[in-house]
Amino acid sequence: MKPVLQVLNLLVTYYTDAGRAKALDDVSLTLNAGEKLGLVGESGSGKSTMALAMMRMIKPPGRIEGGQVIVDGTELTKLSDEEMLKARLSKIAYIPQGAMNSLNPVLRIGRQMVDAIKAHDDEASRRTIEERCMEALESVDLKRSVFKMYPHELSGGMKQRVCIAIGILLNPKVIIADEPTSALDVVTQRQVMETIDRVQEQLGAAVILIGHDMGLMAQFVDKVAVMYAGRLAEVSIVRDMFTDPKHPYAQALIRSLPSLENKGVFQGIPGLAPSLLRIPSGCAFHPRCPYRMDVCTTVRPELETLSNGRQVACHLYTEGLTDAGANGIQERHQSVYARPAVKDIDNRT
């Protein structure tokens, strides 16, 4: 199966008064139609930059300095600005993090949806466009009456679903959801994620879900990509990520989840994420890594594919230590893995 999305060696840099910061450093990934990928990592790891770069929405002082983004055979990085405007919504759509601030407060919802379609098809009749908008609203469980309402008349969850409806107006091949539930209560979070899940199945699109909520990832995605300091640390199917994470940073993320087996015990990740202006030499995670070796301080590990198909950027697996040896290190820490998360995976519907 040919991937619907290919990101190849993507490089994004921000030029600031303090120096040059690499927000994305040679990032590559692929996604098939119908797949859901969760993109996780600490704040500043490059998740949202990745989304904006794929949409070609990086603004100065940021700059896309290299790489390719290919959606359904179209290389977006080669398109003109006008062609890229047409590609947004029709090939790749973006559901923003803050729905509260993404809708124009002085325009009715219908006007904003109609404008989105007209930007791509100015020959369609008004009646055809309005009917398409109504169908999009109904597909995200909103009434047709929302078409004539203003954003301030809607709840936070309804606004988020309006953003989803706008994102699917032109049946895109790839949908990027940037922390779509960050400002919502847990009940509304569930409703929004179920909406994205249902819409994705209807369209057969690939979905990238960006966020910090590992529990949400366990329930809704097929694969998880862990980012650290602008690079991918590990890419794995969701079950393997939660039951047997390979990269030390991925292990630390899983250990930080609350566990019913250790009530009242919360375990964070020692140290701080590095500044993108001063990324450590070698592996960027080595100052915080309990398994660091001498090679980690000087040689940057590349993302390697293991025998089981997982991708990991760590010298535990690429520099003389076999998978069995690395697993031996992990076994000493199995007791603190967040095993309860696996139950959520098993119970997904």
Three state DSSP letters for 308-344: CCCEECCHHHHCCCCHHHHHHHHHCCHHHCCCHHHHH
- pLDDT for the residue numbered 346: 53
- pLDDT for the residue numbered 325: 42
Q: Which residues of the chain have pLDDT under 70?
A: 99-100, 260, 262, 264, 319-349
- pLDDT for the residue numbered 136: 93
Of the candidates 51, 56, 58, the residue with the CA atom closest to the CA atom of residue 21: 58
- pLDDT for the residue numbered 271: 86
Q: Specify the DSSP class assigned to residue 183.
A: T
SS3 250: helix
pTM: predicted TM-score of the whole model, two decimal places: 0.87
Q: Which domains does the chain have, with CATH numbers?
A: 5-212 (3.40.50.300), 246-346 (no CATH)
Give the tokens for residue 139: 């597909």
Give the tokens for residue 96: 């923003």
- pLDDT for the residue numbered 345: 54
